[in-house]
Structure 1
Amino acid sequence: MTQVKNNQVVLRNYVTGFPKESDMNIVESVITLKLPQGSNDVLLKNLYLSCDPYMRALMSNMEDLEGFQTYTPGSPLTGYGVSKVLESEHQDYKKGDLVWGITKWEEFSFIPSSLIHFKIEHTDVPLSYYTGILVSLNTGMPGMTAYAGFFELGSPKKGENVFVSAASGAVGQLVGQFAKLAGCYVVGSAGSKEKVDLLKNKLGFDEAFNYKEESDLNTTLKSYFPEGIDIYFENVGGKTLDAVLTNMRVHGRIPVCGMISQYNLTQPEGVTNLANLILKQVCMEGFMVTAFYHLYPKFLEFILPHIREGKVVYVEDIAEGLENGPAALVGLYSGRNFGKQVVVVAHD
């Protein structure tokens, strides 16, 4: 039996407010790379780990999280990732298979086979894409989230005006590109000049602005959308949502994907312009991507050709090494990442 070093990212204690790197420790443990006799687990070598906003909630001592298990202080974080099977007695997985599912933030993991969601079949695209654009199930799946939220709830029509907040993030960057494929005019907001340049010069947005430099978001939105907004893809909430509500067109749609500006506040910001939902007959609808899982085959049929032909670009912020995982995860909540945040544990 082979014993090897197994570095882990461990939660020190429950978190209040903004998470810090010091809330997590890098712990060196030892693991035996052999399944115990009769085990139903699968032995994995972890390759790519996904950093996702929902992980912040799992750091808190909360009870009801829609079926998610909060983290346990002193134990490794868990999340979605791409792994390679080293040993398995499950009929669906064999040594060498590449899989996607829930794993631990460590180099090697024993994982119940039930936590593996699927075997990766399409390997002609980067494996790291399976932490984001090509993920099929549950939270932390930017591709399906963008696709379902924009096309199913947004119901875009050619020529419509689309605004995307957190537009350089894992979901927003895709919504903007989908909007262009649908023949829409699209504007994105982001938190730095570099991100604005990324949106306009690489991702094909018609316009973009740095919300941190705008003192009056209402006026800013009116300048980009003099005729109003047909679809607002909501990722941030707070003041941005309040300003958008006054700039929506009649029968506009607001798919509510997230409100990342509110997650770490002890007192969430109020929204004062909700009457516009009535006056302009706007449909504002929150959604969970799990309700649209049945569309995954249709989504793959849509997205894979666009990726292969370079018509959809997917920007990733790669953190090399498990030791850089805490900084990568914490950076999500201050907008430090450019695109989908991924931690590389090992290259296949």
Structure 2
Amino acid sequence: MPETNRQIVLDQLPQGRLAPEHFRLTEGARPTAGEGEALVRTRYISLDAANRAWMQGATYRSALAAGQVMAGGALAEVVEANGGDLAPGDLVFADTGWQDYAVLPANRLSKLPKLEPMTHLLSVYGVAGLTAYFGLLECGRPKAGETVVVSAAAGSVGSIVGQIAKLKGCRVVGVAGGEEKGRWLVDELGFDAAVDYKAGNLRQQFREALPNGIDVYFDNVGGEVFEACLFAMNNFGRIACCGAVSQYDGAAPQHGPRGVPGLIVTKRLTLRGFIVSDFDDQRDQALKDLQQWVAEGRLKVQEDVIDGFEKLPEALVGLLHGENRGKRMVKVA
């Protein structure tokens, strides 16, 4: 086991778009666990648009500051445990940050099942899958025959949202960037149609793809796509607000969607923001359903695994530019 601990530090807060130059690779001594603590070694580090949002200010976690180890969750292996019910070799999901090793309170870590491929613990059985499940079913509450639209549909959460909506008997339209992703959504994942936000004229594309309007919109991006969907919503439509990736990287938008108060009132819309931990008490049932759908071949899992700790900065920048299909993660060890 290496005696050193590689770390990637957020060297400076970006004022515009994030670039690999905003990070710095450092190396220190491997930490040791004290009483009530566990030493874990990262195996796969999760990459999410939220990584960028944490640089802008406090969200559901504290804001990142220049000089700190870059924050992020990881699938990690227990090396040493001085408390709790953990043993060396156990797998956990932990807020390790971008480093080889981390020391964390043992009683805050829960043992994960060992399954193959273990990467599914970060994707369909991890935050991405659970976010899709709860955001759609608890916040969107789709009914068979309704039309569901999901933005960032080729991403880790959106690709699962669309498939679950199909399982529930809905017509599903995905919004993604580029014809290739659109074809993948329709031909491989079973979406009914795809809208290419990079092609422009969103409202015209929506009129063609959504002749009966939108009943449920799962929003991952905010901005122009959110605005176009808002105007296409049917009466009593529901919007699950998961993220706003279009506003994370770069200058702040000059205005929000116009006419929102009137639209919400006249269409009697429900908008609900959420994070996955809101539904911790329903986690077991969600995992049972997700595992069953995957085993039956009704839910396809797409993962984008990049090999190499040092590639984390460029991998996150690439995710923000829409390079990935499905869940992006970096293999560390």
**What is the aligned partner in structure 2 of residue 113 from structure 1?**
106
Q: How many residues align?
A: 331
Q: How far 1:114 moved relative to its partner?
A: 4.5
RMSD: 1.9
Is the Cα–Cα contact under 8 Å of residues 245 and 273 in structure 1 kept in the other structure?
Answer: no
Q: Does 1:74 align with 2:73?
A: no
Deviation at 1:195, TM superposition (A): 1.5
Distance in 2 between the 1:87 and 1:177 partners?
A: 39
Which residue of 1 is the match for residue 307 of structure 2?
A: 320
Query: Would you say the 8 A contact 2:174–2:191 is kept in 1?
Result: yes
Answering whether residue 122 of structure 2 is matched by residue 131 of structure 1, we say yes
Residue pair 2:216, 2:237 contacting (<8 A) in 1 also: yes
Which residue does 1:198 correspond to in 2? Answer: 184
Other structure's SS at 1:204 match: coil
Q: Extract unaligned runs of 5+ from structure 2.
A: none
2: CA distance, partners of 1:304 / 1:23: 39
Given that residues 102 and 115 in structure 1 are in contact (C-alpha distance below 8 angstroms), is that contact kept between their aligned partners in structure 2?
Answer: no
Contact 1:10 1:27 in 2 (8 A): yes
Partners of 1:71 and 1:160 in 2: CA distance: 40
What per-residue deviation string (whole Å, max 9, x for no partner) do you get for residues 311-348 of structure 1?
A: 111211111110110111122222122211101101xx
Q: Tell me whether 1:229 sits opposite 2:214 in the alignment.
A: yes
Alpha-carbon contact 1:3-1:30 (below 8 Å) kept: no
2:280 is matched with: 293
CA distance change for structure 1 residues 3 and 222 in 2, over 3 Å: closer, same or farther?
A: closer
1:92 aligns with 2:78: no
Say which of 18, 25, 36 aligns to 1:40.
36
Aligned residue in 2 for 1:28: 27
Distance 2:226 2:259 in 1: 9
> C-alpha distance in 2, partners of 1:288/1:6?
31
Deviation of the 1:265 alpha carbon: 4.2
Distance (Å, rounded) in 1 between the aligned partners of 2:27 and 2:216: 48
Structure 1's 84 and 3: CA in aligned 2 closer, same or farther, altered over 3 A?
A: closer
Aligned to 1:58: 54
Q: 143-152 vs 328-337, which deviates more? A: 328-337
Q: CA deviation at 1:146?
A: 1.1
- Segments of structure 1 that go 5 or more residues without pairing to the other structure are 136-140
Q: Which amino acid aligns with 2:40?
A: L
Distance 2:300 2:167 in 1: 12
Would the alpha carbon gap of residues 110 and 311 (structure 1) be closer, same or farther in structure 2, given more than 3 Å must change? Answer: same
Q: Is the 1:8–1:322 contact (alpha carbons within 8 Å) kept by the matching residues of 2?
A: no
TM-score (norm 2): 0.93
Is 1:246 equivalent to 2:241 in the alignment?
A: no
Contact kept? 1:43, 1:108, Cα under 8 Å: yes
Q: Are 2:272 and 1:264 equivalent residues in the alignment?
A: no
2:153 maps to a residue whose letter is: A
Cα distance, 1:79 vs structure 2: 1.6
TM-aligned CA deviation for residue 308 of structure 1: 1.8
Give 1:115 shift. Answer: 4.6
User: Which deviates further from its counterpart, 181-190 or 260-269?
Assistant: 260-269
* Structure 1: distance between partners of 2:240 and 2:247: 17
| Structure 2 equivalent of residue 163 of structure 1 | 149
Percent of residue pairs bearing the same amino acid type: 36
| Runs of 4+ more than 4 Å apart | none
Task: Judge conservation of contact 1:80–1:131 (CA < 8 Å) in 2.
Answer: no
